[in-house]
Amino acid sequence: MKNDLLIKICMGTGGLAAGGSEVMDAFKKQLRVKGIKADISKHCSIHRVGCRGLCAKDVLVDIILNNVKTTYQFIKPYMVERIIEEHVINGNPVEEWAVTEDYHQFHNKQIKVVLSDCGNIDPEDIESYLNVGGYDALKQVISTMSPKDTIEIIKKSGLRGRGGAGFPTGVKWEICFKETSSQKYIICNADEGDPGAFMDRSVIEGNPHAVIEGMIIGAYSTGADKGYVYIRAEYPLAVERLKKALNQARQNKFLGKNILGKKFDFDIKIKLGAGAFVCGEETALIASIEGQRGMPRAKPPFPVYKGLWEKPTVINNVETLANVPYIIRNGAEWYSSFGTEKSKGTKVFALTGKIKNSGLIEVPMGIPLREIIYDIGGGIENNMAFKAVQTGGPSGGCIPADLLDIKVDYESLAQVGSIVGSGGMVVLDENDCMVNIAKFFLQFTQSESCGKCIPCRIGTKRLLEILERITCGKGREGDIELLEDLANDVKATSLCGLGQTAPNPILSTIRYFRDEYEAHITKKKCPAGVCKDLLSYVVIAEFCKGCGACKRVCPSSAISGEKKAVHKIDPDLCVKCGACFEACKFKAIGKG
């Protein structure tokens, strides 16, 4: 049975949150009870794996019996005994618990490079990574290629930085290689802070060795002998698995002195960030590693010339580095065959918000946005109408429904006022207020501003004040124009990327949803019924059954009426909490 049975259980953050550890324990217990020998050694029958992608269906479990795989969804510990008895012992999969067509639809249009081994290998076992070709790229580079040869492959692949700006990775490495210095560094930026983003966290949790291998190859190519992974402390599972992976890499001579018997020394340290969003900016990140307050500095000089402790420093994000081993193993032409002419390869996105299939996806650059939302994501929750999608996090913009056929690549998104960014993708529906969405992101960036430069420190505060005034019914004529002027000034004069991109949510929502701003200002109405100060609740007499459900949940006793008679809401007593709206089964409570 040991050679014929393999069980893979999602133990990424999503899987663990859904009960992955308990499911693992239940499988081990039931296998013992049934007399089936299984353990979690390197030749085991039960594997922990990282994120499988479709987090909304965790805990996901693969049963691979005699090379035939069945994937189960929403697995709980109590379900394990039946799976073992019916499927593992008797060979009859429990069809009612198996994944449905939407699971396969979620994956059909994806092309996985960075995520190809996530959800497949055990992230805490280096042997699992070695068995799928792990560290073969490093061996190839060190044994047969010069730094120039390696850089040339990365340049030909068209790989661009996946952390935001999209700068060509090979060009950055080449600049650092050509710099003359007794000390060089390479830094992995894992300080992922965008609301709704979990790409880098999931990659490290699911395949930390790919990131490490990418860093080692980058160090060999640029002449660096020291590396840092700057990762936020709020990612405890990723940090734990990264530490284990680094120790395993050292034990296998992939890190340290004379790597693989060659005259090449390199090692990696972990630096925990304290959660400051601005430390995702490369110069602020460098300051933090140096023990200073995480604040950006003016560029140039760029870090590749003068970075960590004034030495040449390459900074790449997690996804960028995780691409490198696969490019070396498969070739530049293979990688560049995906994507568009200027945006090569694939991109990992965290698909969240009002979407049926939320999760982690990897798609070819240039895929139409509509295919991501409807074919992969399954459409909008509760069959509501799609309104917009926010890409690029707080630095990005909102793309409306009439642009759903736009291609998702660096150039196309920039043309419509958004960015690819690190890969956050938040879907909004008809019930979202776009003015309120802009306010939400401004609240985030304003609170995360380091305060070093006046345009960002004061400008974002003033922008937020105007938005708050508009959403509470105190908007004035000229506020839209004032927002546009101030937003453009902040973009043009801020010191770093945080301030330069903070106004993007405002500018994009004004560009595509100006009518909502006008309704808030001139009509004192929120079309989506979100802004509390602009709301009023009324009973729709023709629908009211007099059941009293609204009356029972009202916290301010604002609703009156006899049983089976039409009820009324006293606007002077109503606190606009929305409890009555949620409680009414007959849609007799209307928003005004």
- Per-residue pLDDT tens for 548-574? 999 999 999 999 999 999 999 999 999
Q: Decide: helix, strand or coil at residue 546.
A: coil
Q: What are 176's two structure tokens? A: 């650092």
pLDDT interval class at 320 (50, 70, 90): very high
**Alpha-carbon 559 to chain mean position:** 43
Identify the pLDDT of residue 109. Answer: 94
For the stretch 76-122, pLDDT in tens is 999 999 999 999 999 999 999 999 999 999 999 999 999 999 999 99
Q: Do residues 70 and 98 make contact, with C-beta atoms less than 8 angstroms apart?
A: yes
For the stretch 45-76, pLDDT in tens is 789 999 999 999 999 999 998 889 999 999 99
* pLDDT above 50 for 531: yes
Q: What CA–CA distance (Å, rounded) separates 200 from 320?
A: 10
* pLDDT above 90 for 312: yes
Identify the pLDDT of residue 197. Answer: 84
Fold of 133-336: Rossmann fold (3.40.50)
Q: Do residues 336 and 345 make contact, with C-beta atoms less than 8 angstroms apart?
A: yes
Q: What are phi and psi of 341, to 5 degrees?
A: -60, -40
Determine the average pLDDT of the residues in 291-316.
Answer: 95
Q: What is the DSSP string of 314-355?
A: EEEEHHHHHHHHHHHHH-HHHHHTSB-SSSBSEEEEEEEESB
CATH class of 536-591: alpha beta
The Cα diameter of the chain in Å comes to 88
pLDDT interval class at 474 (50, 70, 90): very high
Q: Could you tell me the residue ranges of all domains in the chain?
A: 5-100, 133-336, 346-429, 434-523, 536-591
**Alpha-carbon 154 to chain mean position:** 24
pLDDT interval class at 44 (50, 70, 90): very low
Determine the average pLDDT of the residues in 326-338.
Answer: 97
Residue 178, CA distances (Å) to 184, 222, 240, 310, 377 in order: 11, 8, 35, 16, 44
Q: What CA–CA distance (Å, rounded) separates 20 from 11?
A: 6
106: left (phi over 0), alpha (psi -120 to 50) or beta: alpha
pLDDT interval class at 286 (50, 70, 90): very high
Query: Length of the chain, please?
Result: 592
Bridge partners (DSSP) listed for residue 426: 352, 390
Fold of 346-429: Ubiquitin-like (UB roll) (3.10.20)
Q: What CA–CA distance (Å, rounded) separates 450 from 453?
A: 8
Q: What CA–CA distance (Å, rounded) separates 207 from 325?
A: 12
Q: Do residues 322 and 330 make contact, with C-beta atoms less than 8 angstroms apart?
A: no
Identify the pLDDT of residue 39. Answer: 56
Q: What are 411's two structure tokens? A: 């150039």
Burial of 557 (0-12, 13-18, 19+ CB in 10 A): exposed
Place of tokens 């006046």: 454
Identify the pLDDT of residue 2. Answer: 42
* pLDDT above 50 for 1: no
Q: Do residues 210 and 134 make contact, with C-beta atoms less than 8 angstroms apart?
A: yes
pTM over 0.75: yes
Identify the pLDDT of residue 553. Answer: 95
- Rounded CA Rg of the chain: 27
* pLDDT above 50 for 217: yes
Bridge partners (DSSP) listed for residue 355: 380
Q: What are 566's two structure tokens? A: 């039409």
Q: What CA–CA distance (Å, rounded) separates 373 from 355?
A: 8
Place of tokens 């009870």: 33
The structural architecture, per CATH, of the domain 5-100 is: 3-Layer(aba) Sandwich (3.40)
* pLDDT above 70 for 43: no
Q: What CA–CA distance (Å, rounded) separates 67 from 5?
A: 8
Q: Decide: helix, strand or coil at residue 430.
A: coil
Nearest CA to 322 out of 353, 360, 359 is that of 360
For the stretch 125-151, pLDDT in tens is 999 999 999 999 999 999 999 999 999
Angle, helices 454-471/479-493, rounded to nearest 10 degrees:
160
Nearest CA to 259 out of 218, 220, 316, 313 is that of 220
Place of tokens 């089964």: 585
392: left (phi over 0), alpha (psi -120 to 50) or beta: left
* pLDDT above 90 for 36: no
Q: What CA–CA distance (Å, rounded) separates 592 from 588?
A: 13
Q: What CA–CA distance (Å, rounded) separates 95 from 212?
A: 39
* 39 against 257, higher pLDDT: 257
For the stretch 171-209, pLDDT in tens is 999 999 999 999 999 999 999 888 878 899 999 999 999
Q: What CA–CA distance (Å, rounded) separates 264 from 106?
A: 43
Percentage of the chain modeled with pLDDT above 90: 87
Determine the average pLDDT of the residues in 363-376.
Answer: 97
Identify the pLDDT of residue 243. Answer: 98
Q: What CA–CA distance (Å, rounded) separates 41 from 247?
A: 18
Q: Choose the most confident range, by mean pLDDT, from 416-420, 433-437, 498-502.
A: 433-437
Fold of 434-523: de novo design (two linked rop proteins) (1.20.1440)
CB atoms within 10 A of CB 583: 16
Nearest CA to 391 out of 428, 339, 443 is that of 428
Determine the average pLDDT of the residues in 239-251.
Answer: 98
Residue 1 is classified by DSSP as -
Q: What CA–CA distance (Å, rounded) separates 252 from 255?
A: 8
pLDDT interval class at 3 (50, 70, 90): very low
pLDDT interval class at 41 (50, 70, 90): very low
Average model confidence (pLDDT) for the chain?
A: 93
What totals of helices (H) and strands (E) does the chain contain, helices first? 23, 17
Nearest CA to 6 out of 78, 71, 82, 50 is that of 71
Identify the pLDDT of residue 194. Answer: 82
Identify the pLDDT of residue 192. Answer: 87
Angle at 442 between CA 439 and CA 447, to 5 degrees: 130
* Least confident range of 159-168, 309-318, 376-385: 159-168
Q: Which amino acid is at 2?
A: K
* pLDDT above 70 for 318: yes
Residue 185 is classified by DSSP as E
